[in-house]
Chain A
Amino acid sequence: MDTKEDQRAIRCLVAKVGLDGHDRGAHVISRAFRDAGFEVIYSGLHRAPEEIVQAAVQEDVDVLGISILSGAHDALVPEIIDGLKQYDAFEDTLILVGGIIPDDDERDLKELGVTQVFGPGASMEEMIEFVRENAPERDPSV
Chain B
Amino acid sequence: MSALIDDLLAGKHRALARVISRIENRQPGYRDLVSQLHDHTGSADIIGITGSPGAGKSTLVDKLAATYRDRGLTVGVIAIDPASPFTGGAVLGDRIRMASNIGDMDVFFRSMSARGTLGGLSTATTDAVKALDAFGKDRIIIETVGAGQNEIDIVKTADTVGVLVPPGSGDDVQMLKAGILEIADIFVVNKADLDGADRTVQELQEMLQYQDGGVPGTTGHHGTGDEFTGADPTGPGAGGGTDHGEAETEAEAEGETNAKSEGWFPPVVETVAKDEEGIEDVLGVLADHREYLTSSGEQTRRRQTRYAEEIRTLVQEDVNELVAEEIDRQGGLEGFVEEILAKERDPYEITDQLLDPIQECVDERAGTD
Listed in ascending order, the chain A residues whose CB lies under 8 Å from chain B are: 1-9, 11, 30-31, 33-44, 48, 50-51, 53-55, 57-60, 87-89, 138, 140, 142
26 A-B residue pairs with Cβ-Cβ distance under 8 Å, sorted by A, are A1-B117, A3-B317, A3-B318, A3-B321, A4-B26, A9-B113, A9-B115, A33-B89, A36-B87, A37-B89, A39-B83, A39-B89, A39-B90, A40-B89, A42-B93, A43-B96, A50-B102, A51-B103, A55-B95, A55-B109, A59-B110, A60-B18, A60-B20, A60-B21, A87-B14, A140-B28
Name which residue of chain B comes closest to A55, CB basis: B95
**Nearest CB of chain B from residue A92's CB, rounded to whole Å:** 10
Contact A87/B13 with A8-B25, A34-B84, A39-B90 known, Cβ cut-off 8 Å: yes
A53 to B118, CA, bound (A): 33
B-chain residues with CB within 8 Å of residue A43 when the two chains form the complex: 95-96
Contact with A along B72-92 (1 / 0, CB 8 A): 000000000001100111111
Taking CB atoms, residues of chain A closer than 8 Å to B317 are 3
User: A9–B321 contact, CB under 8 A?
Assistant: no
Chain B residues bordering chain A, tally (CB within 8 A): 44
The answer to the question of B108 belonging to the interface, with a C-beta cut-off of 8 Å to chain A, is yes
Contacts of A31 in B (CB 8 A): 91
Known contacts A3-B321, A48-B102: does B25 contact A39 (CB below 8 Å)?
no
Task: Write the nearest CB–CB distance from A134 to chain B, whole angstroms.
Answer: 18
Q: Is B17 an interface residue (CB 8 A)?
A: yes
Q: Give every chain B residue within 8 A of A140 (Cβ-Cβ).
A: 27-29
By beta carbon, the residue of chain B nearest A87 is: B14
A92 to B71, CA, bound (A): 35
User: Does chain A have a CB within 8 A of B111?
Assistant: yes
**Complex partner residue of B103 from A5, A7, A42, A50, CB under 8 angstroms:** A50
- Contact check, A42 vs B96: say whether CB atoms are below 8 A apart: yes
Chain B residues engaging chain A, CB cutoff 8 angstroms:
3-4, 12-14, 17-18, 20-21, 24-29, 83-84, 87-93, 95-96, 102-105, 108-111, 113, 115, 117-118, 120, 317-318, 320-321, 324
Q: Which residue of B lies closest to A88 (CB)?
A: B14
Are A6 and B25 in contact (CB-based, < 8 A)?
Answer: yes
Give the Cβ gap from B329 to chain A, nearest Cβ, in Å. 14
Closest chain-A Cβ to B31's Cβ sits at a distance in Å of: 11
- Rounded to whole angstroms, the CA-CA distance of A53 and B102 in the bound complex is 10
Q: How far is the CA of A33 from the CA of B87 in the complex (A)?
A: 10
With beta carbons under 8 angstroms apart, the residue of A8, A48, A51, A57 that contacts B17 is A57
Say whether, besides A7-B25, A140-B28, A41 and B103 are in contact (CB < 8 Å). no
Q: Given A3-B120, A40-B89, A42-B95, 17 more contacts at CB 8 Å?
A: A1-B117, A1-B324, A8-B25, A9-B25, A34-B90, A39-B89, A41-B95, A42-B91, A48-B102, A50-B102, A50-B103, A51-B102, A54-B105, A57-B14, A58-B13, A60-B14, A60-B18
| Chain A residue at minimal CB-CB distance from B115 | A7
Give the docked Cα–Cα distance between A6 and B88 (Å): 14
Residues of A within 8 A of B115 (CB): 7, 9
**SS class, residues of chain A in contact with chain B:** loop
A5's nearest neighbour on chain B, judged by CB, is: B26
A4 touches B321 (CB 8 A): yes
A34 contacts B321, C-beta separation under 8 Å: no
Residue among A1, A34, A48, A50 making CB contact with B91, cutoff 8 Å: A34
Would you call A39 and B113 a contact (CB within 8 A)? yes
CA distance A88 to B111 in the complex (A): 20
Question: What's the minimum C-beta distance from A44 to chain B, rounded to whole angstroms?
Answer: 4
Tell me the nearest residue of chain A to B104, going by C-beta. A54
- Please state if A37 and B29 are interface contacts (CB–CB under 8 Å): no
Those 8 A-B pairs whose CB atoms lie nearest each other, nearest first: A44-B96, A60-B17, A34-B89, A50-B103, A37-B87, A8-B25, A60-B21, A37-B89
**In the docked arrangement, what's the CA distance between A42 and B90, Å?**
10
B13 neighbours in A (Cβ, 8 Å): 57-58, 87
A48: chain B residues at CB < 8 Å are 102-103
CB-nearest residue of chain A to B328 = A2
Among B13, B89, B110, B113, the one with the most A-chain Cβ atoms within 10 Å of its Cβ is: B89
In the complex, the answer to whether A39 meets B95 with C-beta atoms within 8 Å is no
Complex Cα distance, B20 from A60, in Å, reads 9
Tell whether A7 pairs with B117 under 8 Å between CB atoms, given A41-B92, A48-B102.
yes
A118 vs B104: C-alpha distance when bound (angstroms): 31
Complex-state Cα separation, A55 to B92, whole angstroms: 12
Do residues B90 and A142 form an inter-chain contact, with CB atoms below 8 A? Answer: no
Q: Which of A36, A53, A60 lies at the interface centre, i.e. has the most chain B CB atoms within 10 A of its CB?
A: A60
Q: Closest B-chain residue to A11, C-beta based?
A: B21
B residues in contact with A8, CB < 8 Å: 25, 27
- In the bound complex, what is the Cα–Cα distance between A137 and B182 (angstroms)? 44
Most chain A CB within 10 A, of B25, B26, B83, B91, is at: B91
